[in-house]
Amino acid sequence: MTRIFLSIIFFVLYVGCTEKWESALKHKEQIKNSITISMSYNITNCGLGYPLLVNVVNNSKDTIKEISWELGVFNPGFSTNISRYMARYSCDKILFPGQQWNFCKELPLVVEKSGYNLSKLDYEVVPGSIDVDITSYY
């Protein structure tokens, strides 16, 4: 009898934890889909050392502690990522709902040495590469 009781308790706890975990993953995915990141080569506002102007907008209803993403760099009209998927960026600026932030980042060395006209390239977030930390910072 005790075995059956313990099995039922374990099953109920397992189902409850699984549902909570799945709900948390779904919520995090909704937040990731609410983040807007745009990038452009802009030496006027950023300078040569950090020429990539990044704009991050938190369109979610949650405060975000940290955001990370992968940079894709493309020659217009071509699908090859010049950065070779070696450019992971992050931003630890705490962004409240609706808040945006602009900052400058360096380009990956492989892009700088590519021989392309850097101001003519397309700078994009690799689809599915955004990750967020929504852990409370208090």
What is the domain partition of the chain in residue ranges?
1-33, 35-133
Q: Give residue 17's pLDDT.
A: 55
Do residues 60 and 67 touch, judged by C-beta distance below 8 A?
no
Of 4-8, 41-45, 67-71, 110-114, the poorest mean pLDDT is in 4-8
The class that CATH gives domain 35-133 is mainly beta
Single-letter code of the amino acid located at 29: E
Longest C-alpha distance within the chain, in Å? 75
Main-chain dihedrals φ then ψ at residue 14, nearest 5 degrees:
-60, -50
Instruction: Assess whether pLDDT exceeds 50 at residue 19.
Output: yes
Nearest to 125 by CA among 59, 76, 54, 25: 54
Q: Which pTM was predicted?
A: 0.77
The dihedral formed by the CA atoms of 23, 91, 69 and 71, expressed in degrees to the nearest 10: 170
Helices (H), the chain: 2-33, 43-46, 109-112
Higher-confidence position of 128 and 98: 98
Cα–Cα distances in angstroms (integers) from residue 56 to residues 43, 68, 82, in the given order: 18, 11, 22
Give the pLDDT band (50/70/90) at residue 7: low
